[in-house]
Structure 1
Amino acid sequence: VLSAGVSVKMNVLLMVPPLLVLVVGGTRCTTSLAALAAAAAVQLALGYPFLATYPAEYIARAFEFSRQFVYFWSVNWKFVPEEVFLSRPFALGLLAAHIAALLTMAHRRWTAHSGGFFPRFIVDWAARLPADAPADASVADVTPAHVAGVMLEGNFVGILFARSMHYQFYTWYFHSLPLLLWRCDFPGGNPARLVLLLAVEYCWNVYPSTAASSALLTAAHATVFAALCYSRTPAAVAVANVQGYTISKQSKEAAVGGNLPGSGNGDGASDDVDG
């Protein structure tokens, strides 16, 4: 499905990193490879009429990562001077920040319930690779809500560090903002969430965009990202609750067992010795 979506609009590629974390971490290695092969097959099938006639032109234009954006239409970087916006160092800096943010989310959010990305996720995958072993239950046993959250968070990270956001690009993520905001822990609670929603909506309705509206939009995006990074996912909270319950139960059982006659502790044991 995702591969078919990429054939329609390339922004779907923003969801590939979180999808890889879910698939690679939650399935056997052969299953992961089969999924990647299926995605490639979809691309080849849909692009066959063009690949069979003008392959070089199709590949060059269908996945044009080097194309230059028009500064006038940028909604998110108008506070940056145009010469900086068009420069290669700016593009590479955004790419580096995007990768760093994805790794941060992978560690603090997407795999937090199973021990984190560094090093638990990587070590587990490397250990399973030779024998094609199944994933650990704590990694594979996730809910549909967790999957949706991971995918939408990965998409949002791409939005934050996008080279340029034009007005129609708001459709990429506006529908996910309520979910993302209510998955965050905000000091101000719901009022703070509503303020951020209104701020983002306001910025997208300023035409043409200004330095102030772009700065406000980027600040709102960065605030949501920071809140996501420092908030625990529902999956991580559930695991912590189970672990806390287990530890509490074991402690109570140990305390009760320590007071039983003949246990070697407490008054009961002393009575046995004295007798």
Structure 2
Amino acid sequence: MILNVFIIKFIPYTEIDWETYMKHISIYKKGIYNYTKLEGPTGPCVYPAGFVYIYSTMYSITNKGKNLKMAQYIFSMIYIFNLMLVLNIYRKSKRVPIYFLILISITSYRVHSIYVLRMFNDTLSILLLHIGLNFLLYQRYTLSSIFLSLALSVKMNILLYFPAYGIILVLSKGIEYGILQAFLMLFIQVILGLSFLLESAPAYLNRAFQLGRQFDYKWTVNWRFVSPVLFSSRGFHVALLALHLTFLTYFICGVWIRKCNLSIWSMLYRRVSSIKMDANDIMSCMFISNFLGVMFARSLHYQFYVWYYYSIPFLLWTAYPPGHPFYKLFGRTNFKLLIWGLIEYCWNVYPSTVVSSLTLNACHCVILIGLLYPLLNLKKEKTKIAKLN
């Protein structure tokens, strides 16, 4: 909190999207619900209805967005609340050393900037996500679904968690329960977006859930080392999507389901579930699912860092535990600190460079290689059992 106050008082505020957010809301406040008319200095409103309602509250509290200090202090409190949720998640896990959690709490200028200097909506979607994840760890599935859906209503990046969340629900409670929770989340989206859907459903759906959105090369953090032509090409986007889906399928079928001694078909057709997933199992599924989406994203902008910043310690300690064949090379604490430090460095280079983007992808690859080991290990164990039989 003290660090946030210091930043607010002594680091100059730089306008990026706050003015645009407030412009969107000012148009909405006039009774205009057609999403194609919600325009601002840096572009149209491309976020679902939850974003509009939350920033409408901000609009009122901060004198139509003019009281920037008030807005910054609000986001400072959001930062603290989110950090408390993250620390409780790690308390349930007990996998990451406490000193490292303290380290990530007081470092990262980029993350503090995203919260208290930029006030991006990514911070709000992540806050709601972490509330939902806390409920999930306590097996309060309905409350978890509500908050995950609310998080999605602020920004679409939360969809990256949904494959893992679906698997967790089906493994824990069965396919019927999973379907019911999916309908609940869909119902929340419809209710939140109802006024916009009634005004112009195509406009709302195309803007708020725009899956084919094209990103600007000048803001990319992760693909600076490719040419602008390749970056914008459809083939490049399709290749990234294929890689994302391939690795996601590997983890779903080869690690998460197989760990429960099930196949995809037996999981779907079970009538009663007796599988209990502990905190580390749940966190592994959720954080890896999101990490794969980040790693193979078409472009990462600076505010996207909060999408996975708080999961990096867990991913590092999960990827290279004692007994891993690469533990001596990648598993030592000092090496994990190095990887974390390099990732932090890459996100603080502005504008991004060929070196910073290559380094970021290399660090992601190191984490992914470690995370793939359970899949390889399970195959080896299955081979040994087959030979014994």
Deviations 1:8-52 (A, max 9, x none): 111101001111111123222221111111011010011011011
Deviations 1:215-259 (A, max 9, x none): 110110111011111147xxx9xxx9xxxxxxxxxxxxxxxxxxx
The match for 1:109 among 216, 233, 255 is 255
Determine the C-alpha separation between the residues in 2 that align with 1:181 and 1:229.
12
Matched with 2:182 is 36
Task: Give, in angstroms, the shift of residue 190 of structure 1.
Answer: 1.3
The match for 2:211 among 65, 71, 82 is 65
Task: Give, in angstroms, the shift of residue 127 of structure 1.
Answer: 3.5
Matched with 1:161 is 296
Matched with 1:56 is 202
**8 Å Cα contact 1:18-1:151 kept in structure 2:** yes
Determine the C-alpha separation between the residues in 1 that align with 2:175 and 2:210.
31
Deviates more, 1:220-229 or 1:140-149: 140-149
Task: Give, in angstroms, the shift of residue 200 of structure 1.
Answer: 0.3
**8 Å Cα contact 1:108-1:229 kept in structure 2:** no
* 2:352 pairs with 1:216: no
Determine the C-alpha separation between the residues in 2 that align with 1:217 and 1:163.
14
* 2:308 pairs with 1:173: yes
Matched with 2:347 is 204
Determine the C-alpha separation between the residues in 1 that align with 2:350 and 2:175.
48
The match for 1:98 among 240, 244, 248 is 244
Give the counterpart letter for 2:346 in structure 1.
C
Give the counterpart letter for 2:199 in structure 1.
T
Q: Where does structure 2 lack aligned partners over 5 or more consecutive residues?
A: 1-146, 321-326, 382-389
The match for 1:183 among 305, 308, 318 is 318
Q: Where does structure 1 lack aligned partners over 5 or more consecutive residues?
A: 241-275
The match for 1:226 among 369, 374, 377 is 369
TM-score, structure 1 as length reference: 0.77
Task: Give, in angstroms, the shift of residue 55 of structure 1.
Answer: 1.0
Please tell me the root mean square deviation across aligned C-alpha atoms, in Å: 2.0
The match for 1:149 among 284, 308, 317 is 284
What is the number of residues matched between the two proteins? 225
* 2:265 pairs with 1:123: yes
TM-score, structure 2 as length reference: 0.55
Task: Give, in angstroms, the shift of residue 193 of structure 1.
Answer: 0.9
* 2:176 pairs with 1:22: no
Give the counterpart letter for 1:197 in structure 2.
W
Task: Give, in angstroms, the shift of residue 108 of structure 1.
Answer: 4.0
The match for 1:134 among 245, 266, 272 is 272
The percentage of counterpart residues that share the same residue type is 36
Task: Give, in angstroms, the shift of residue 110 of structure 1.
Answer: 2.1
**8 Å Cα contact 1:25-1:121 kept in structure 2:** no
4+ runs of 1 displaced by more than 3 Å? none
Give the counterpart letter for 1:21 in structure 2.
I
Matched with 1:269 is none
Determine the C-alpha separation between the residues in 1 that align with 2:253 and 2:337.
28
Matched with 1:89 is 235
Determine the C-alpha separation between the residues in 1 that align with 2:175 and 2:305.
36
Determine the C-alpha separation between the residues in 1 that align with 2:285 and 2:294.
14
Task: Give, in angstroms, the shift of residue 66 of structure 1.
Answer: 1.2
Task: Give, in angstroms, the shift of residue 59 of structure 1.
Answer: 0.5
**8 Å Cα contact 2:215-2:299 kept in structure 1:** yes
